[in-house]
A and B are shown apart, each in its own frame.
Chain A
Amino acid sequence: MSPMNGIVFDVQNYAIYDGPGIRTIIFLKGCPLKCQWCQNPESQLLLPQMSYFEEKCQACGNCMTACPNNALSLINGKIIRNLSLCTTCGTCISACPNGVMEKIGVVRGLDELVEIALRDKPFYDNSGGGVTISGGEPTTQIDFLLELLKALKNQGIHTAIETCGYFNENLISELVKYVDLFLFDIKLVDTNKHKKFTNVFNEKILTNFSKILSKVGSERIIPRIPLIPSVNTDINTIQQIIAFLHNVNYNGIIHLMPYNKLTKTKYEKMGMESFHKDFGNLTDSNIHEITKLFEQHSYEVIINH
């Protein structure tokens, strides 16, 4: 695909928890990790996908009749999609009277996205905000990502990316030119545990963090720690993270991202219900304790609910 087009699965305005000021977030599809707690399961695959909201489906069969590839069948009042036949052409979306089908991931042009982002420029300017590019993992579409960042910078817009940190370290020198702020996920320091929960080892991630940090300083990179009950919320794990940040001489702020368990419907819509896992509840006192630990090590903490 041309670097002037990207596969985008959402654009959100008035984001107030993902970087400074009022921001627009552009979500790019595709991610090299497969975190068990993933909040955006629709973001994992690079390709466009169809989602299906069974609860709203009246089983009228209109979509089945309309599908040019015979990819749909109606079984027990439910539409089943044959993924090898479906071309995500979207005919079923317009055929459905109940808005049950949705295409996740649409090819969108760079100019169009920049224009959308520019519409909110008065809000960025007044609040010190800008655009955050998230995912998935935005570097999965690296060519497009760089073009988009350049275009935004040309318009005088502050840029941030939200990254899992799992990318080739050769990209760093280009990224630091166009990214004003890195929102960088640190999930676990123990690499075996990391592999178990995210499907990848974390050496690359930790190295990238320290490399970027050494280039841009603590003002332009913020570690974001998703707090997943029974995965990384115990004192020991948190202390490992603190120790890592100390070792690499990080002295900026910390974002804590408490686990959101209300994602079941998202998994169901994508036909991924078998991958959904409930990690249970995070208590206020748990968050408080973790915050305290960071603060004892002179880190300022922002909790992003």
Chain B
Amino acid sequence: MTETTALEMVDNASDRIKRLRSRLLDDMPFISIERAKYYTEIWKKTENSDISLNVRVALSMKKVFEKMGVSIDPDDRIVGTWTENFLGIPIDIERGLFNRVFEVELDKKSMKKFAKESNKGFMSYMIDKYGSDGLLKTLDHSKSIGVAMPELGIDTLDSRKINPYQIKEKDKELLLREIIPYWKENTIADRLGKAFIENNIYPGEFGDFIQNLPRSTGQGDMVTSVGSALGVWQGHLILDHEKPIHKGLLAMINEIQELITSNEIFSKREQDFLESISIALEGVVIYSQRLVEKLEEELKSILDPSKKAVLIQLLKICQKVPLLPAETFREAIQSYWTIKTAVELAMPFNVHSPGRLDQIFYPFYKNDIASGQITPEDARELLEELFLKIMSHNMRPYSNASSDFSQRYEGSEPVTLGGLTIKGEDATNDLTYVMLEAADRSKASLNFAVRIHKNSPEKLLMKIADLHYHGLSSVSLMNDEICIQSLLNRGFNKEDANGYAVTGCVDMCSPGKTGGEGFSSILLCRTLDLALRNGDSQTLVGLVKNAGLKTGDPDKFSNFDEFLNAFFIQSDFMIKKIVDGSTIRDKLFAEYLPAPYISAFMQGCLENKKDITEGGAIYDCEGILFMTSIANTVDSLYVIKKLIFEQKKFTFKDLINAIDNNFSNGYEHVHKLILDLDGKWGNGYPESDELAREVTSHMFKETYKYRTYKDGFYAPFINSMTTHTYDGRISIATPDGRLGGKPFAASCNPYNVEKHGPTGVLRSVSALEYEHVMGCAVNIRMHPSGIGKTNESKKKWISLIKTYFHLGGEQLQPTVVSTEVLKAAQINPESYRNIIVKVGGYSAYFTDLGREIQDEIISRTEHTMV
């Protein structure tokens, strides 16, 4: 019998929320050039002045707030857009992550030209290196394997199917003719590329190789070696929202002005810094005045009394907050939203997560409920709107070359709920439940990370089980006991550790105190390949010599430990590459792009009189993502241990040949031996679980050896976002039997799991040392019958999670939807618009995802009950 109740797409939202949601899901967003235009205007004007850099940034952004347009929708009860459109994106022109995307991908002609030039460069590099015969052979080989570099194609930003954007003709003209050319070579992204070369970051032949590969137009991340890459972001964070909500911006400006005019003596740097954050706060005040003006303007043209009443209420709220302290629930939410929108615009796409909203808003909610100012239903509807709006900041104009691997909303600005208070008591409150309801009804593609500890109320757990059963896959669970220990281990004090929240996808931090979690990644399977080939790296387009270190011919190793040691030498080297690269990146941010708008809302900066990019915040860190992937790497090592060293079924040379032939051309038997080998990770086998722990613990430890440019710590995160499909597509076969071009395992998921159900998976996953991991994503895909509709079966589901946490698991994010439904959604996407699935560490609408990720999700083992 099918579980009909769980398969229905229940949508309980009000008509107003449905209207907002459907526009956010289906309207084509505009690329707004206003930010880029006004920012550049002041930047140019102050070019030859002696105004300090941080003040220039603050002034340029302030100009944006003065001149930009905002949009108000009749369905708004929370006001504030970050462009002049209902749905749009600004341009981070000075950081420049997407400048080249705009430069190239707004026109078919420029796309063709770019592809042609970049291919030409690649071809001549290959011919120089291998001759034309060698080039053809390489290309034929890749083709026969079925792997291919993603192509740019000719689908322009506005004509492509996945994640499209439109731009007004005259805006496009100005952007391409004037704004982008002005910034060329001077964005952070451009500077970083140059700095890597100047600092000899690339080992061996890798520098030559990477510079001649067909270029991508996106500059969001950059490789530092075959096995490591960096995000060119300033760093995910959570602003301190409590201070402005409770104190108001005017008081915060006063506080700085008093300091400036006090008797205290400041250095020039410190004076500049104080001035920059004071201007930044004024900038946000100006933004909030723009909202007031817009509301006043709307009011003039509206005659309908009920619509007028709504606008008057909004006007009153916006006249008051965030300038003055919030006193009601509605005011607190508006205060939060105005600041969040303004700061997000100042540093677009940097992922500024909301933090512990059920804690921040609860005092206001409690008062308003007690005084009858608001009902739980009205509060819930307001939160539904808020969640959808937070979601709307989370889209990025990625290149068409990666559009098959992306989607409109990345859903990665998690809301943190529940957990412990800073004093260590249960923090769950009435608003926690209202927020979970709102998460369900809004169907916002946003993560809701619910913190669970040993005294979490049964009611909360049963509520979550019920939401899971009904298919809400945006709720993930964090294990407080492990998470808090992990923060303590990295130097957070007890109260800050207790008060942690989640940013980015799954990254823990102390909200309002942690100055931007930069991120980089180590590509584990590529690192393993270096150990197989004595420091060389096999790619789809030939061998790159000396991309790693010389660790010896593995066929000369007498035991597995020698090989493991060679792998560790290579992985230590990759981590070092990350450290070198991220230090250069952070220094560039400090020297060229300070962040006064973030620093104004981050604890520690005012006290230290230091910008966040110089390490002003109380805590700082760089996350090293473990990608491509733990499961494939551990299984590969297990295969090597068993089949090469113990059973002597083949040699390393055989294995390398098999990989280079993608397990065909006479190497099918090697593949079969590998696939038939029992005991791989993810089935709860003690031997491979122990191997996984040993391998990861070594690498975790290596990361803490180093300090960042801002004197923060390096720490591991286990999260792949969508890179496991993208990296899989451009990677050769791996020793675990994964064929070339196929996805790697996602995040912390096992890969070869068929045998022992969810308990086997969770036992294996929990074998790692999470008290040294600052965040991880563990997906488990359940059929609704695996949770069941009765209270009794739901209690078993909760018990499964609790036991997994007891065994040491850190996080769990179930996707509860049956394979039939996902397949139906591929055929009739319009009928399944609201299905949310977990991708890497974040949630996304399934029908928004590229086909490759959709197929990867369907292929994940579905735990069902028979």
Contacts and interface: CB of A to CB of B under 8 A. Distances in A.
Nearest to A281: B1
B697 interface: no
Contact of A22 (B790, B800, B806, B866): B800
Given A15-B865, A16-B793, A16-B796, A123 B759 contact: yes
Contact of A123 (B672, B788, B800, B866): B800
B220 to A, nearest CB: 39
Contacts of A305: 1, 3, 785
A236 B3 CA distance: 28
Contact of A13 (B758, B797, B807): B758
Given A123-B799, A258-B1, A302-B792, A22 B759 contact: yes
B684 interface: yes
A302 B807 contact: no
A19 to B, nearest CB: 11
Interface residues of A, number: 25
A245 to B, nearest CB: 21
Interface in A228-245: none
B1 A14 contact: no
Interface string A208-226: 0000000000000000000
A99 B495 CA distance: 55
Interface in B77-107: none
B863 A14 contact: yes
A129 B799 CA distance: 10
A222 to B, nearest CB: 13
Nearest to A120: B759
A302 B790 contact: yes
Interface in B1-41: 1, 3
B758 A16 contact: no
Given A13-B758, A13-B760, A123-B803, A21 B796 contact: yes
Contacts of B763: 119-120
B176 to A, nearest CB: 54
A11 B793 CA distance: 20
B759 A282 contact: no
B47 interface: no
Contact of A17 (B668, B759, B793): B793
B55 to A, nearest CB: 58
Contact of A127 (B756, B795, B807, B863): B795
For chain B, the bracket of interface size reads 20 to 34
A119 B684 contact: yes
A122 B796 contact: no
Interface string A95-131: 0010000000000000000000001101101110100
A126 B796 CA distance: 9
Interface string A234-269: 000000000000000000000000101000000000
B246 interface: no
Nearest to A122: B803
A97 B672 contact: yes
B865 A16 contact: yes
Nearest to B3: A305
Contacts of B642: none
A120 B685 CA distance: 11
The interface centre, meaning the residue of B684, B756, B758, B760 with most chain A CB atoms within 10 A of its CB, is: B756
B800 A127 contact: yes
A173 interface: no
B802 interface: yes
A12 interface: yes
A65 interface: no
The interface centre, meaning the residue of A12, A123, A125, A129 with most chain B CB atoms within 10 A of its CB, is: A123
A14 B800 contact: yes
B298 to A, nearest CB: 51
B672 A94 contact: yes
Contacts of A22: 759, 796, 799-800, 803
B318 to A, nearest CB: 50
B757 interface: yes
A126 B757 contact: no
Contacts of B756: 11, 13
B676 interface: yes
B799 A122 contact: no
A260 B786 CA distance: 17
Interface in A1-56: 11-17, 21-22, 24
Nearest to A99: B675
A150 to B, nearest CB: 24
A16 B759 contact: no
Interface string B776-800: 0000000001101010110111011
A97 B796 contact: no
A259 B786 CA distance: 18
Interface in B712-769: 756-760, 763
A122 B668 contact: no
The interface centre, meaning the residue of A12, A16, A97, A126 with most chain B CB atoms within 10 A of its CB, is: A16
Contacts of B799: 21-22, 123, 126-127, 129
B153 to A, nearest CB: 35
A13 B668 CA distance: 32
A258 B785 CA distance: 14
A11 B800 CA distance: 18
B793 to A, nearest CB: 5
A21 B865 CA distance: 14
B241 to A, nearest CB: 37
B803 A14 contact: no
A24 B863 CA distance: 14
Nearest to A260: B1
Contacts of A21: 796, 799
Nearest to B675: A99
Contacts of A129: 796, 799
Contacts of B806: 122, 126
Interface in B189-223: none
Contacts of A16: 786, 788, 793, 796-797, 865
B757 A122 contact: no
A81 B285 CA distance: 82
Nearest to A121: B803
A12 B1 contact: no
Contacts of A125: 803
Contacts of B802: 126
Contacts of A282: 1
A251 B807 CA distance: 38
Contacts of A12: 757, 866
B247 to A, nearest CB: 45
Nearest to A261: B1
B90 to A, nearest CB: 47
A17 B760 contact: no
A21 B760 CA distance: 16
Nearest to A16: B796
A17 B3 CA distance: 15
A11 B757 CA distance: 10
A72 to B, nearest CB: 19
Contacts of B793: 16-17
CB-CB nearest 10 A-B residue pairs = A127-B799, A13-B757, A126-B803, A14-B757, A13-B759, A16-B796, A123-B803, A14-B758, A13-B756, A120-B759
Given A15-B865, A22-B759, 20 more contacts: A12-B757, A13-B756, A13-B758, A13-B759, A13-B760, A14-B757, A14-B758, A14-B786, A14-B863, A16-B796, A17-B793, A94-B672, A94-B676, A97-B668, A97-B672, A119-B760, A122-B806, A123-B759, A129-B799, A305-B1
23 contacts: A13-B758, A13-B760, A14-B757, A15-B865, A16-B788, A16-B796, A17-B788, A17-B793, A17-B865, A21-B796, A21-B799, A22-B796, A22-B799, A24-B759, A94-B676, A97-B672, A119-B684, A122-B806, A123-B803, A126-B802, A127-B799, A129-B799, A302-B790
Interface of A: 11-17, 21-22, 24, 94, 97, 119-120, 122-123, 125-127, 129, 258, 260, 282, 302, 305
Interface of B: 1, 3, 668, 672, 676, 684, 686, 756-760, 763, 785-786, 788, 790, 792-793, 795-797, 799-800, 802-803, 806-807, 863, 865-866
